[in-house]
Amino acid sequence: MDNELEISLSDILQFIKKRFLLIVLCGVYFTVGTFLVSHYLIPEKYTASVSMYVNPNADEKDRVATLGDLNYAQAVVDTYIEILKTNVFLTDVAQTSALPYNPAELRKMVNMQAQNGTEIFKISVVSENPNDSLLLAETIAHLAPQKIIEVKDADAVRVVDPAILPTAPSSPNVMRNTVLGAALGLMLGVLIAFVLEMTDKRIKNEDDLLKNYNVPVLGTIPSVER
């Protein structure tokens, strides 16, 4: 009968105990490494957000009322978001803010998202400079109403939650990254310990001989204390 590899809980605890130092070192290495990378190498980024409310005129509501109130609000807000993502609008934002960003860069920095199917949408700007984030968010909030009115003839577009200067970076999350790094290091340490244990075919005692070769033990040499 072929030998079957059987691993019990006691075996797992035994090799973890045996390789405990290796596991701890992996955990410490990854913890320190992720902390240093997150704290010193990954650039800090700041997020400024503004929420806007759009109230379409009566004619616009009548044209899409058959969609239902919730679907209507979502459809209209999604349209406004697409308008504000155009090169024309983002070029106006860059020129008005007088910041050295082009439309392609702004498109990566700006995130616009509808809020739970309402007529409110949130605009978030992420950059490495908190003042840039604030200025861009305020510029978008200033230019968006007129742009939307020009394209969709909406009655009113107004800010319901103005942007404020971010005082702390939104990323990277040093604490979260460090904890994840520690967990990854410990798991890797356990994996390495497991592989080392499974590939270690050295015979160190009677149990190892029985486990690896399944042959009877005729005798053992007692250890001699000096």
The answer to whether residue 1 sits within a structural domain is no
Residues 128-147, mean pLDDT to the nearest whole number: 95
Q: How confident is the model at residue 55 (pLDDT cuts 50, 70, 90)?
A: confident
The answer to whether residue 220 sits within a structural domain is no
Q: How confident is the model at residue 41 (pLDDT cuts 50, 70, 90)?
A: very high
Same domain, 148 and 60: yes
Range of the domain at 28: 9-40+173-213
The answer to whether residue 19 sits within a structural domain is yes
The answer to whether residue 110 sits within a structural domain is yes
Same domain, 58 and 35: no
The CA distance from 108 to 32, in Å, is 31
Same domain, 128 and 86: yes
pLDDT of 115 reads 84
State the chain's mean pLDDT as an integer: 83
Could you report the per-residue pLDDT of 194-221, keeping only the tens digit for each?
888 778 766 666 666 666 666 666 666 6
Same domain, 34 and 103: no
CATH code of residue 107: 3.30.70
Residues 127-131, mean pLDDT to the nearest whole number: 96
Is the overall model pTM greater than 0.85, yes or no?
A: no
Is residue 73 pLDDT above 70, yes or no? no
The answer to whether residue 221 sits within a structural domain is no
The CA distance from 141 to 48, in Å, is 12
Split into its structural domains, the chain has a count of 2
Same domain, 108 and 93: yes
Among 193, 190, 184, 192, CA closest to 34: 184
Q: Which residue has the higher pLDDT, 68 or 196?
A: 196
Does 172 sit behind a cis peptide bond, omega within 30 degrees of 0 on the bond before it? yes
Same domain, 126 and 202: no
Same domain, 112 and 181: no
Could you report the per-residue pLDDT of 18-40, keeping only the tens digit for each?
889 999 999 999 999 999 999 89
Residues 49-70, mean pLDDT to the nearest whole number: 66
pLDDT of 1 reads 43
Task: Say which residue the tokens 């510029």 belong to.
Answer: 139
Q: How confident is the model at residue 58 (pLDDT cuts 50, 70, 90)?
A: low
Q: How confident is the model at residue 116 (pLDDT cuts 50, 70, 90)?
A: confident
Same domain, 96 and 138: yes
Same domain, 63 and 81: yes
Going from the C-alpha of 27 to that of each of 150, 176, 190, 193, 196, the distances in angstroms are 58, 15, 10, 13, 17
pLDDT of 196 reads 85
Q: Which residue has the higher pLDDT, 140 or 14?
A: 140
Same domain, 137 and 76: yes
